[in-house]
Structure 1
Amino acid sequence: MDWLQVIVLAVVQGFTEFLPVSSSAHLILVPALTTWEDQGLAFDVALHMGSLLAVIAYFRREIFAMLQSSFAALKGKAVDRDARLALGVALATLPVCVIGLLLHDVVKDNMRSTLIIGVALIGFGLLLGYADWGHKGSRDEYQLRWRDIALIGLAQALALIPGTSRSGITITAALMLGMSREAAARFSFLLSIPVIVLAGGMEAITLGRQAAPVDWLTLLSGTALAGISAYLCIHLFLAFIKRLGMQPFVIYRIVLGVWLLWLFYG
């Protein structure tokens, strides 16, 4: 890969991983609009690692509090709000793990078409718009009920459909359940941690079976650029939605979806 490809792919991955606009849609656009060859599994793993490091760094205080309270609860102390949130993140991750394992080959072989991605961008974008327009909640992530956590977890499993956006569908579900925009986004970002770990782990296992040479400079550069981009994305997104809400992203999704359908099927 040349350095322009490294920079573009890392920045695209870093920003779209956490925005409700579907990283899969953007990552098919890059080869569609360029003559670049596939970047390879090793580089994909590196980009996911960058996103993971970014979200851990941004929410380091919350994560430390969740882990500390969880270990205290295991030793018999009272379950406080941080331990409860940690359990909520774990439980909300179960549906996407189970369904992902069961349907991995189906999604990989039959659902990665630009038609599905374009339709999902538009359809789930409209649903995000509806949730943002009609549900002005005020609850934060510490006030989630177990039912809410289960529903958000089931919604996250829909992100297996390319073009849905994991962050988009979890934020949509959280808004419909009465959470504030900022709290919905924060909970979505916390949910991304186990998902990225699991997805990256599966890719790393596959990569470990390959005997291809490793270009460490390219991989480390991609990790760093994706991490910086993702960290900036999280910070800017949380500030942005507080003032303007989700509607700009809804419009962007619809325009992108229509353009994809026109580009490949028009």
Structure 2
Amino acid sequence: MSWAQVIVLSVVQGLTEFLPVSSSGHLRIVSELFWGADAGASFTAVIQLGTEAAVLVYFAGMIWQILRGWCAGLLNKQARGQDWKMGWMVIVGSIPIGILGFVGKDLIRDNLRNLWITAAMLILFSFVFIVAERTSSKSRGFEELNMKDAVVMGLCQCLALIPGVSRSGGTISGGLFLGLDREVATRFSFLLAIPAVLASGLFSLPDAFAPATGQSATGAQLLVGTGIAFVIGYASIAWLLKFVAHHSFEWFAAYRIPVGIIVMVLLALGVLQPY
């Protein structure tokens, strides 16, 4: 990979990771459009460590509180409060994508990266956002989160293995269908991503240097790319939380659908190649 490609894709990753527009889909599209090649799932997974580090820093207080409460609950039954339950919800909700990600890793790195699939998912899943927004009561707060919510949102997170769907879009939509407040669903979506993204990035790190599919990157490139994704991702979290407090996710559907259509047109004209 060239340095220009690494920098541009890292900026795209930071801007899109937390928005329900599919960061993996955007990385796939931008890489193919400007460099005529797929950067690869391994590169994507590694620079996602930067945006996930932004989550760890931004929510450090909440994460520490949950960790402390979960550990205290292991040692003392009387200490098993909301933080104890929240810790288990994050763990249980992360299991589905961990299993599917490991079992289907070859499919994820190859077949599912077809740009026709990415464009179709950008369009089709936008309607899921619209339905979720229009049917959700948005009446349930953070203290009302339960294990059922974690399991359902964890299953929805698995959809993010398909570029174009969006991890945050899938989990937040699942939360809205369950009646969660939009901001509550968004915050839990961030927490739910931590184990999955960290595991994926660390697992893919060796492959990023010499991938079976996609392009290779040097250690310096991966380090710089991760740093760029961290800085921009941190700012994106703050912006998104303010946005969802007052705006519908239908705004993102209004962006995704035209992008998906444009990608399909470029594919049909031969400007973009599906692989």
Please confirm whether the aligned pair reaches a TM-score higher than 0.5, indicating the same fold: yes
The residue that corresponds to 1:35 in the other structure is: 35
Shift of 1:42: 7.8
d(CA) in 2 for partners of 1:12 and 1:253?
15
Contact 1:31 / 1:37 at 8 angstroms: preserved in 2? yes
The residue identity in structure 2 corresponding to 1:259 is I
Contact 2:42 / 2:207 at 8 angstroms: preserved in 1? no
Contact 2:28 / 2:39 at 8 angstroms: preserved in 1? no
The residue identity in structure 1 corresponding to 2:251 is P
RMSD: 2.3
2:221 matched to 1:221?
A: no
The residue identity in structure 2 corresponding to 1:237 is L
Deviations 1:99-124, CA, capped at 9 Å, x for gaps: 22222223333221111111111111
The residue that corresponds to 1:234 in the other structure is: 237
The residue that corresponds to 1:89 in the other structure is: 90
Shift of 1:189: 0.8
What SS does the aligned partner of 2:137 have? Answer: coil
Contact 2:100 / 2:158 at 8 angstroms: preserved in 1? yes
The residue that corresponds to 1:65 in the other structure is: 65
Which runs of 5 or more structure 2 residues have no equivalent in the other structure? 270-275
Distance change in 2, residues 1:38/1:130 (3 Å): closer
Which runs of 5 or more structure 1 residues have no equivalent in the other structure? none
Distance change in 2, residues 1:209/1:88 (3 Å): same
The residue that corresponds to 1:51 in the other structure is: 51
2:242 matched to 1:250?
A: no
What SS does the aligned partner of 1:244 have? Answer: coil
d(CA) in 1 for partners of 2:123 and 2:81?
40
Contact 1:46 / 1:220 at 8 angstroms: preserved in 2? no
d(CA) in 2 for partners of 1:171 and 1:253?
16
d(CA) in 1 for partners of 2:172 and 2:145?
13
* Segment drifting more, 172-181 vs 238-247: 238-247
Shift of 1:81: 0.8
Distance change in 2, residues 1:209/1:21 (3 Å): closer
Deviations 1:203-257, CA, capped at 9 Å, x for gaps: 02435788x89453x3332222110111111100010111222111011111111
Distance change in 2, residues 1:7/1:146 (3 Å): same
d(CA) in 1 for partners of 2:124 and 2:85?
33
What SS does the aligned partner of 1:84 have? Answer: helix
d(CA) in 2 for partners of 1:2 and 1:98?
33
Deviations 1:27-81, CA, capped at 9 Å, x for gaps: 1222232137665788545522211210100100110001100110011142111
The residue identity in structure 2 corresponding to 1:122 is I
The residue identity in structure 2 corresponding to 1:59 is F
The residue identity in structure 2 corresponding to 1:108 is R
d(CA) in 2 for partners of 1:4 and 1:129?
36
The residue that corresponds to 1:111 in the other structure is: 112
- How many residue pairs get aligned? The number is 264
Contact 1:15 / 1:233 at 8 angstroms: preserved in 2? yes
The residue that corresponds to 1:24 in the other structure is: 24
The residue identity in structure 2 corresponding to 1:136 is S
Shift of 1:2: 5.2
Contact 1:70 / 1:86 at 8 angstroms: preserved in 2? yes
* Segment drifting more, 2-11 vs 53-62: 2-11
Q: TM-score, normalised on structure 2?
A: 0.88
The residue identity in structure 1 corresponding to 2:111 is N
Contact 1:46 / 1:219 at 8 angstroms: preserved in 2? yes
Distance change in 2, residues 1:5/1:65 (3 Å): same
Deviations 1:106-161, CA, capped at 9 Å, x for gaps: 33332211111111111111101110122131223331222222111111112222
Contact 1:159 / 1:169 at 8 angstroms: preserved in 2? yes
What SS does the aligned partner of 1:171 have? Answer: helix
Contact 1:85 / 1:141 at 8 angstroms: preserved in 2? no
The residue identity in structure 1 corresponding to 2:258 is V
The residue that corresponds to 1:140 in the other structure is: 141
